[in-house]
Amino acid sequence: MMYSPKVMQHFSNPQNVGEISDADGVGEVGNPVCGDMMTIYIKVKDNVITDIKFKTFGCAAAIATSSIITTMAKGMTLEDAEKIGRKDVADELGGLPPQKMHCSNLAADGLKLAIENYRRKLQGLPPKSGVTSGEER
Known catalytic residues?
A: 34, 103
Q: Which long-range contacts (CB under 8 A, 24 or more apart) does 83-90 make?
A: 84/108, 84/111, 85/136, 86/136, 89/65, 90/65
For the four alpha carbons of 41, 43, 49 and 50, in that order, the dihedral sign comes to negative
**Any idea what DSSP says for residue 128?**
P
Q: Are 14 and 63 in contact (CB under 8 A)?
A: yes
Contact 27, 3 (CB under 8 A): no
Smallest Cα–Cα separation from 75: which of 41, 110, 51, 54?
Answer: 51
| Pairing mode, strands 25-30 and 37-45 | antiparallel
